[in-house]
């Protein structure tokens, strides 16, 4: 079983030595196995997030206190997002390259300097937020009344320290990813949501919304502390220097510059979307928001998981000049994502009405809102496939220590989306905005493929990938047919909407998997091998645990 704990033996088992650094072997299904674990952890985090939101609604309703809390817990992570993005994408390839070359002391000087710089910057932002909390509350939420603004300012003062904790978590996660240890960094979000739920249950009644904010900050602190046991034994020499004269630190800063710009400007598309939708019929923003939550689920569960696993593999291969291995990682990761995302595109498009009804239609969310949201889901759906593979392409650029090209592509996609959305929102309403997302995502995908191949001779294998997509058409058709049959059967029995929807989705997923297994799709066989390996491991460990 590929280990994902703190053992140091990640999903890609290490066997050799090269300049003091273990070189990785890439067994069949290793990426799939590691990605499945991260996706599972991400699924737990999303479930915990749902329970957190439900608990908040039960305790405080949809009132001013909830509004103040949501703003206060959204703003600090947003302010520190540029630091987190820069660390996650710029530190790992340089750090890995130094370790591959056996320059361990230089590698740890680099990590120490980046950690120190990140803490200094996030600490300065925290102090500024504490001083100008009231001004920030009025700036980001000008429509709040005085009482709600005061509550938001108070909660901002409580939540500002989370910026430092997020910074610590970003650096620690990058180090662990370099050692192929993925599960602990991914599990942090579960702790944040769990701590918030605990604060709501045990503290809200006595101390109010302030206790909930404190619980959230505690969760961020636990998220950072969680990494400590896994970093122990791996972390090398620590230096208090900021390393501004260190050429390796300067390399990281140069790589981080375009990533920082993208992180700062990445919210523009969302601003454009809401600006245009606000001029359309009432409920357009809500329909787009609910639909996008459904569409982004595969990306949140699978795309981030796969790109996280293949990034250190590609970074190590790139540092050795092994383009064949970089190509292999890109192609393997892309195939896995297409395998899991394409049926999600087909299934969510086909079952959009029962899915939206089961998840959202209640109270003020009536049939008209369901219709509008389902239409947005249909128009958004194509973007799922393109957006799911985009992180793998971005990581490939980063592994080649090229952060400028993917940043430029992402930024170029913003005006493309804006122009397309303006042209389509007039005749098509909110559906035009969703369709603009799919069209701009397709163009960004094509540009990524072209520039990755032209500049770095790395390709996802477009011809082979196209054949793979065609090979999945029949299994997707089988899945759709079984899903509709299961939905009809569940409705005939008279079960509720949620049970009927879950039955349709579950039956369709099983049918798709069986169909791909029968037709010999490699990813299905890999999934079976991973399951058997896990089952053997559990069967082996369980008797030992019982004996102890």
Instruction: Give the pLDDT confidence of 56-84 residue by residue, as tens digits.
Output: 656 765 456 766 777 788 778 877 777 77
Specify the pLDDT at position 20: 32
Instruction: Give the pLDDT confidence of 319-339 residue by residue, as tens digits.
Output: 777 788 888 888 888 888 888
Tell me the mean pLDDT in the region 188-199.
86
Can you give the pTM of this predicted structure? 0.61
Specify the pLDDT at position 109: 86
pLDDT above 50 (res 22): no
CB 333 within 8 Å of CB 393: no
pLDDT above 90 (res 273): no
Q: How confident is the model at residue 398 (pLDDT cuts 50, 70, 90)?
A: confident
Q: How confident is the model at residue 355 (pLDDT cuts 50, 70, 90)?
A: confident
Specify the pLDDT at position 54: 59
> Treating both helix axes as pointing N-terminal to C-terminal, what angle do 64-100 and 146-159 enclose, rounded to 10 degrees?
30
Specify the pLDDT at position 300: 64
What's the angle, vertex CA 256, arms to CA 251 and CA 262, rounded to 5?
155
Specify the pLDDT at position 475: 92
For residues 537 and 161, the model is more confident at: 161
Plot region of 349 (φ>0 → left; ψ -120 to 50 → alpha; else → beta): alpha
Specify the pLDDT at position 26: 42
Specify the pLDDT at position 478: 93
Instruction: Locate all alpha helices (DSSP H) within 179-267, ordered by sequence.
Output: 183-207, 209-225, 228-231, 247-265
Written as six digits, the tokens of 155 are: 């909660």
Lowest mean pLDDT among 62-66, 448-452, 455-459: 62-66
Instruction: Give the pLDDT confidence of 92-118 residue by residue, as tens digits.
Output: 778 878 877 888 888 888 888 888 888
Percent of the chain with pLDDT over 70: 77
Distance CA 520, CA 466 (A): 17
Specify the pLDDT at position 38: 60
Specify the pLDDT at position 365: 57
Average pLDDT of the chain is 77
């Amino acid at each position: 079983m590929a280990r994902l704990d703190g053992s140091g033996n990640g999903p890609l088992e290490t066997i050799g030595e090269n300049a003091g650094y273990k070189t990785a072997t890439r067994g069949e299904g290793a990426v799939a196995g590691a990605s499945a674990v991260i996706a599972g952890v991400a699924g737990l985090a999303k479930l915990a997030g749902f329970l957190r939101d439900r608990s908040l609604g039960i305790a405080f309703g949809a009132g001013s206190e909830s509004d103040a809390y949501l703003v206060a817990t959204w703003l600090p992570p947003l302010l520190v997002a540029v630091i987190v993005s820069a660390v996650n994408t710029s530190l790992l390839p340089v750090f890995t390259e130094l370790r591959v070359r056996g320059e361990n002391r230089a590698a740890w000087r680099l990590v120490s300097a980046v950690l120190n710089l990140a803490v200094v910057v996030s600490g300065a932002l925290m102090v500024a937020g504490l001083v100008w909390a009231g001004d920030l509350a009025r700036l980001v939420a000008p429509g709040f009344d005085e009482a709600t603004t005061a509550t938001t300012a108070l909660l901002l003062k409580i939540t500002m320290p989370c910026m430092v904790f997020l910074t610590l978590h970003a650096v620690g996660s990058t180090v662990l990813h370099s050692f192929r240890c993925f599960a602990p960094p991914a599990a942090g979000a579960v702790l944040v949501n769990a701590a918030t739920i605990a604060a709501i249950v045990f503290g809200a009644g006595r101390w109010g919304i302030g206790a909930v904010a404190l619980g959230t900050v505690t969760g961020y602190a636990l998220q950072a502390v969680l990494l400590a046991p896994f970093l122990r034994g791996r972390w090398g020499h620590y230096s208090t220097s900021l390393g501004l004269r260190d050429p390796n630190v300067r390399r990281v800063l140069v790589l981080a510059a375009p990533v920082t710009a993208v992180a700062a400007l990445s919210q523009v598309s969302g601003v454009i979307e809401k600006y245009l939708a606000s001029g359309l019929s009432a409920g357009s923003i809500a329909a787009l928001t609910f639909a996008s939550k459904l569409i982004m689920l595969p990306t949140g569960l699978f795309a981030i998981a796969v790109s996280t696993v293949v990034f250190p593999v590609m970074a190590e291969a790139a540092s050795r000049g092994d383009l064949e291995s970089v190509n292999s990682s890109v192609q393997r990761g892309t195939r896995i994502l297409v395998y899991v995302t394409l049926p999600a595109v087909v299934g969510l498009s086909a079952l959009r009405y029962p899915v939206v009804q089961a998840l959202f239609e209640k109270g003020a969310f009536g049939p008209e809102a369901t219709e509008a949201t389902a239409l947005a889901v249909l128009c958004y759906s194509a973007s799922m496939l393109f957006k799911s593979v985009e992180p793998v392409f971005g990581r490939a650029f980063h592994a080649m220590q090229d952060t400028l090209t993917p940043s430029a592509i992402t930024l170029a996609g913003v005006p493309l989306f804006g122009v397309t959305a303006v042209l389509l929102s007039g005749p098509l309403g909110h559906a035009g905005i969703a369709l603009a997302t799919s069209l701009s995502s397709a163009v960004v995908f094509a540009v990524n493929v072209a520039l990755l191949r032209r500049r770095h001779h790395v390709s996802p294998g477009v011809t082979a990938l196209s054949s793979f997509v065609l090979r999945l058409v029949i299994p997707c058709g089988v899945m759709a047919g079984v899903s509709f049959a299961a939905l009809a059967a569940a409705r005939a029995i008279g079960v509720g909407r949620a049970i009927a929807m879950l039955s349709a989705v579950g039956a369709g997923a099983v049918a798709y998997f069986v169909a791909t297994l029968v037709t010999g799709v490699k990813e299905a066989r890999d999934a079976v091998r991973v399951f058997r390996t896990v089952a053997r491991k559990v069967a082996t460990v369980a008797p030992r645990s019982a004996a102890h």
